[in-house]
């Protein structure tokens, strides 16, 4: 297959880990005889430095034509004092909104070899496997522009949702639960927010269309607590934009590090943007120690969700698992024993495991 892939490395560790995804995808392309053509564009602080805007028109145009998009991360202190509409984060929010990527899938599945890396007890996290589905183009992030009033003494942020925006993500939640263990947890704050009461009503209505899926409602504060005390009670979680943002960083603790989590931002036709859940990690940027696995696993999600390449995606995931089984870890993973490596070495280990797999497959084929 021929695919055009847009690369948006962005800022901080985004540029370091994007290289990892690219070489891994090149290895997959040569093993499976695909042609992946990469086109690199600017977003976030990188775009501000060159074009004075966080989301240049040519980046939007390129993304609109692409088969899929990979994004590193945006943001950093350098741009923090810019007005809100010119901040790097606006570039990311802008591309999500412009492309209509309303469904953000954040799988949180621990690797067995990383059980020790989590500060949580092994018996608590063992076997946890959660899919967080976060609404991505509505809510507080996209209400009326925020404003300061009355000489800056009053501030207004607006939480705005249309019914159909809730319906489509809740449908996605039910459909995803059906492909997993038929259990959907809907997270809201219906004891306080009108938007959450409407959300809960829709979940109740929709549950009649999915009688095979068991639904539970949790208030977000309790959900945050249960996520790290009883993670195995969760299967699929569906929630609005801000709650999903916060809960997914929290859930990353189950896997040992925020650097492990991939994500897929998709719309109904399968077009997608794939990015790790973490940010530009300014505290470690430029040191060559960022964990590239969240980014590499995001490229696997791209192969699976946008290109239908299940075997290729699974090979990347297996190669990542092998590296961890062999004891390689980046410093964000607090491991006893094993071999601590940097971004490049970890990427090389993934490549090595991919190659071994590819050689084994071809030997297998020769004797098949």
The set of catalytic residues is: 141, 189, 221, 245, 249
DSSP result, 128-174: -EEEEEEE-SSBGGGSSPPEEETTTTEEE---B--HHHHHHHHHHHH
Single out the residue of 93, 101, 218, 227 in contact with ligand IPM (rule: CB under 6 A): 93
256 in contact with ligand NAD (CB under 6 A): no
E-strand ranges in 136-269 read 147-149, 154-156, 183-188, 214-219, 236-239, 262-266
Contacts 24+ apart (CB under 8 A), 357-365: 357/315, 357/318, 357/319, 358/27, 358/31, 358/315, 361/31
Partner in contact with 93, chosen from Mn ion, ligand IPM, ligand NAD, none, beta carbon below 5 to 8 Å by kind: ligand IPM
Work out what residue 244 binds among ligand IPM, Mn ion, ligand NAD, none; the CB cut-off runs from 5 to 8 Å by kind: none
Q: Three-state secondary structure along 76-108? A: CHHHCCCCHHHCHHHHHHHHHHHCCCCEEEEEE
Map the footprint of ligand IPM across residues 257-316, applying CB under 6 A. Answer: 277, 279
Nearer to ligand IPM, 113 or 137 (CB): 137
Distance CA 104, CA 312 (A): 22
Piece of 100-108, 128-136, 165-173, 278-286 that binds ligand NAD (CB under 6 A):
278-286
By CB under 6 A, tell whether 89 contacts ligand IPM.
yes
Tokens describing residue 104? 């953000």
Report the residue from 42, 278, 304, 305 that binds ligand NAD according to the rule CB under 6 A. 278
- Residue 136 sits in the site that holds ligand NAD (CB under 6 A): no
Q: How far is the CB of 12 from ligand NAD (least distance, A)?
A: 7
Q: Is 46 in the site for ligand IPM (CB under 6 A)?
A: no
Closest to Mn ion by CB, 69 vs 93, is 93
Residue 339: beta bridge partners?
328
To the nearest whole angstrom, how small is the minimum distance from the Cβ of residue 311 to Mn ion?
31
Query: Considering only CA atoms, which of 174, 170, 91, 180 is closest in space to residue 129?
Result: 180
H or E element in which residue 9 lies: strand 2-10
> What minimum distance in Å lies between the beta carbon of 341 and ligand NAD?
12
Which residues lie near ligand IPM (CB under 6 A)? 75, 89, 92-93, 245, 277, 279
Which residues lie near ligand NAD (CB under 6 A)? 13, 73-76, 89, 92, 258-259, 275, 278-284, 290-291, 294, 332
């Amino acid at each position: 297959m021929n695919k055009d892939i847009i690369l948006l490395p962005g800022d901080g560790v985004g540029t370091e880990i994007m290289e990892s995804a690219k070489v891994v995808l090149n290895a997959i392309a040569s093993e499976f005889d695909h042609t992946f053509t990469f086109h690199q564009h600017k977003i976030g602080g990188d775009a501000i430095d060159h074009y004075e805007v966080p989301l240049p028109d040519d980046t939007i145009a390129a993304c609109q034509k692409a088969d899929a998009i990979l994004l590193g991360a945006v943001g950093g202190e350098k741009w923090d004092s810019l007005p809100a509409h010119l901040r790097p984060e606006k570039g990311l929010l802008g591309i999500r909104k412009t492309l209509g990527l309303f469904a953000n899938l954040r799988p949180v599945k621990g690797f067995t070899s990383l059980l020790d890396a989590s500060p949580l007890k092994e018996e608590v996290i063992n076997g946890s496997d959660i899919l967080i589905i976060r609404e991505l183009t509505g809510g507080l992030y996209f209400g009326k522009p925020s404003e300061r009033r009355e000489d800056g003494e009053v501030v207004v942020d607006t939480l705005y949702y249309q019914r159909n925006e809730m319906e489509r993500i809740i449908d996605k939640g039910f459909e995803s639960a059906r492909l997993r263990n038929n259990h959907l947890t809907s997270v809201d704050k219906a004891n306080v927010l009108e938007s959450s009461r409407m959300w809960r009503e829709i979940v109740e209505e929709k549950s009649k269309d999915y009688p095979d899926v068991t639904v539970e409602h949790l208030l977000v504060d309790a959900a945050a607590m249960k996520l790290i005390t009883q993670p195995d009670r969760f299967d699929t979680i569906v929630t609005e934009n801000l709650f999903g943002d916060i809960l997914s960083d929290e859930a990353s603790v189950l896997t040992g590090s925020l650097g492990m989590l991939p994500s897929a931002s998709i719309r109904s036709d399968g077009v997608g943007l794939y990015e790790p859940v973490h940010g530009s990690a300014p505290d470690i940027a430029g040191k060559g120690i960022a964990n590239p696995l969240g980014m590499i696993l995001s490229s696997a999600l791209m192969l699976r969700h946008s290109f239908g390449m299940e075997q290729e995606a699974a090979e990347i995931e297996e190669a990542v698992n092998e590296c961890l089984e062999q004891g390689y870890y980046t410093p964000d993973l607090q491991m006893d024993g094993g071999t601590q490596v940097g971004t490049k070495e970890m990427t090389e280990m993934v490549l090595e495991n991919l190659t071994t797999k590819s050689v084994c497959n071809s030997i297998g084929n020769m004797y098949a």
